[in-house]
Amino acid sequence: MELKVALSARRVLGWLLVAVVLLTLAGTAVQVAKYAFGYREGWTRLFNLDREYNLPSLFSTGLLGGCALLLRAIGQRAAALGDRWAPSWRLLGGIFTFLALDEWFSIHEILILPDLAKWAGLPGFLKQIWVIPAAIAVGWGAWRFWPFWRQLPPKLRGRSLLAGCLYVSGALLMEMVGGAYSADQGQQNLTYALLTVVEEVAEMLGTTLFLWALLVHLGSWSGKFSLVLDLGDRTLGDRTLGDRTLGDRRDPQDPQQP
């Protein structure tokens, strides 16, 4: 028995944006309620954008995991076509798998060492020491994937750049801004709480945009993107991609290209 599910990239984007807006409103509301009105009921943790194991973190983990699955699907198809960029697609899939795990389990917090930061005399924006290796990783990623990014179709290239800028501005730059502010004013105040809201929303928007861009890219090869769930021996069926090389510069949706 097979269950076919056809996905519309535009519809998925709409659903995800609605979810981002609702989580943003809820997350902002609980912070205002906490610091402006002293409302600290336990259930508000479910919507706190600066906490783990709640609805926002589950949503963000799902977004990153979805990107990882789509990147893996593209990588598998690229390998089947003999595309020389298949390893890059697969490596990106692995990176997003790690990001999804880190989003849920907060692996990076192992590197939050306030005593070390104080001993080293680091400035406030480096209070969260993990931003240092994270910045190095971002620089390495830009160098490693530059040739790969340049050969992508123009629309995917632009969308992925915008998505990456949004995500990094939230995950790294806003983290530094928050660190600098908290070093001077502390974390238990409304301003810092709202800074964390901006940080998390930028991450969610960046990941949402990238997931949508990948869905559009997949659909461009055959006009649709479908998943087939086999309820028999196999659990995951095929992803309709078409037969063109995934690294081709030409964008099938761009009428100006030959």
126 located within any domain: yes
Give the range of the structural domain holding residue 97, as residue numbers without chain letter: 8-221
pLDDT of residue 251: 46
pLDDT of residue 126: 82
- Provide the domain count of the chain: 1
Residues of the chain with pLDDT below 70 are 1-7, 111-120, 222-258
E strands within the chain? 2-7, 225-230
226 located within any domain: no
245 located within any domain: no
pLDDT of residue 82: 93
Structure tokens given for 177: 């801004």
146 located within any domain: yes
Please write the tens of the pLDDT for every residue from 117-165. 666 677 777 878 888 999 999 999 999 999 999 999 999 999 999 999 9
pLDDT of residue 157: 97
| Residue matched to tokens 């078409």 | 242
94 located within any domain: yes
pLDDT of residue 225: 57
251 located within any domain: no
Which string of b and e fits 1-17 if b means at least 16 CB within 10 Å? Answer: eeeeeeeebeebbeebe
pLDDT of residue 250: 43
The CA distance from 170 to 244, in Å, is 35
The CA distance from 173 to 158, in Å, is 21
pLDDT of residue 188: 93
203 located within any domain: yes
The CA distance from 159 to 205, in Å, is 12
32 located within any domain: yes
pTM: 0.84
Structure tokens given for 129: 């020491």
